[in-house]
């Protein structure tokens, strides 16, 4: 989902049609994916090196 929308530069409507779901479902799934990615990357990106 994230690849389709972000890197393929598709809209939520286009992504939904490609996946057979509504645009609202696409936006919801994108939000969850971004939240999970942020949770994983934030500690790594904000870690202070000695």
12 neighbors 27 (Cβ within 8 angstroms): yes
Helix, strand counts (H, E) of the chain:
3, 0
- 9-50 pLDDT, tens digit each: 889 999 999 999 999 999 999 999 999 999 999 988 888 776
Residue 50 lies inside a defined structural domain of this protein = no
Residue 31 lies inside a defined structural domain of this protein = yes
Spatial separation of the C-alpha atoms in residues 1 and 29, rounded to whole Å? 7
pLDDT, residue 5, reads 79
pLDDT, residue 50, reads 60
Task: Enter the pTM of the model.
Answer: 0.74
Provide the residue range defining the domain that includes 20.
2-45
Number of domains in the chain: 1
The torsion angles phi and psi of 10, rounded to 5 degrees, stand at -105, 155
Nearest to 21 by CA among 33, 48, 30, 41: 30
Residue 15's H or E segment, with its range, is helix 12-19
- 29-40 pLDDT, tens digit each: 999 999 999 999
């Amino acid at each position: 989902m994230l690849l389709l929308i972000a890197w393929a530069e598709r809209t939520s409507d286009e992504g939904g049609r490609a996946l057979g779901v509504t645009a609202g479902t696409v936006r919801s799934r994108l939000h969850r994916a971004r939240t999970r990615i942020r949770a994983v990357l934030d500690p790594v990106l904000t870690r202070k090196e000695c």
